[in-house]
Amino acid sequence: MSKKIKKIGVMTSGGDAPGMNAAIRSVARTCAFHNIECVGIYRGYEGMIEGDFKELTARNVKGLINKGGTILKSARSKEFRTPEGRKKAYDALTAKGVDALVTIGGDGTFNGALIFNQEYSFPVMGIPGTIDNDIFGTSHTLGYDTALNTVVECIDKIRDTASSHNRLFFVEVMGRDAGHIALNVGIGAGAEEILIPEENLGLDRLLESLRRSKKSGKSSSIVVVAEGDKIGKNVFELKDYVEENMTEYEVRVSVLGHMQRGGPPSCFDRVLASRMGVKAVESLMEGKSNFMVGLLSDKIALTPLEKAVKGKSEVNKELIRVSDIMTT
């Protein structure tokens, strides 16, 4: 029989993402609903080591659902990667009476939780929070939908100036290892070409595509580039290459950067965070541990943390085909 959970700690780690605050709120209010104490752990694993905790109640998490970022802050911890650091973290948690953890973040966050559980049999449950949507075991991570809407809005505005000046714009979006953002916003914003890490387009095909667009009568073009695209050149080198080979184009670059991670979460992310927070707490109450809460076929489901970390999130092949047709 599993130990009764009396106090749950919740933390955010890694990069921030819209929806993290909504998830913190959901965890705290689900705890309150079930008469469980909830403790917020500041600055991720670093704050856990230092005992930087604050009680979270149903009332002091009000007003969070619409806020981007994370009120619990986020920090990387070199010390937690050592056995000595994890021992300090365990001692701090047990001194505070914390029985289980909900960790909100990505691969690094889940890896830390896995190792911590292996060493101390400490119950852990993960909630995926990253705009890159690159976690196995969920169709959507927290912040992904918000980032898509933010980027599409930016590209719509860039297109206005591209059309006014007959320019070609390379728009770089986040996605070092995964092209989910680029692929979806490229289709959603009507980009003429989409460059993602999963598909090596090649320079020749890129030029061919741009020439075809020009020949068909397009006086301006948008090319969406994931920052991890494997074409072999960074976005500024791509600009120079196209200008050298297509003098008829005036080329500009727009790197959207960290604005993609900010802003109020979308309705979708707020609802998803609420669902995931409830599932995380109630799963811990049922004695489950070492799982990530995800969304699969619009149902909240559990995936073993180890699978979530080791598995590969793949882009939708149908969307690649759709993008090929739409860029004709």
Tell me how far apart the alpha carbons of residues 60 and 25 are, in angstroms, rounded to a whole number: 9
Closest CA to 134 of 125, 143, 122: 143
Read off the tokens for 217. 């009568």
* DSSP-derived 3-state class of residue 294: strand
Is 129 buried (19+), middle (13-18) or exposed (0-12) by CB count in 10 A?
A: buried
Is the backbone of residue 207 left (phi > 0), alpha (psi -120 to 50) or beta?
alpha
The CA distance from 64 to 19, in Å, is 9
CA angle 265, 279, 310 (to 5 degrees): 85
Task: Tell me how long the chain is.
Answer: 328
Q: Distance (Å, rounded) from C-alpha 303 to C-alpha 27?
A: 19
Torsion sign over Cα 153, 155, 159, 161: positive
Can 132 be counted among the known catalytic residues?
yes
Nearest to 141 by CA among 296, 321, 326: 296
Task: State how far the Cα of 312 lies from the Cα of 294, in Å rounded to an integer.
Answer: 14
Identify whether the C-beta of residue 66 lies closer than 8 Å to the C-beta of residue 265. Answer: yes
* Residue 301, beta-bridge partner list: 294
Dist CA 179 CA 199 (whole Å): 9
Catalytic pick from 16, 99, 132, 229?
132
| CA atoms of 277 and 152, how far apart (whole Å) | 28
Task: Supply the residues annotated as catalytic.
Answer: 132
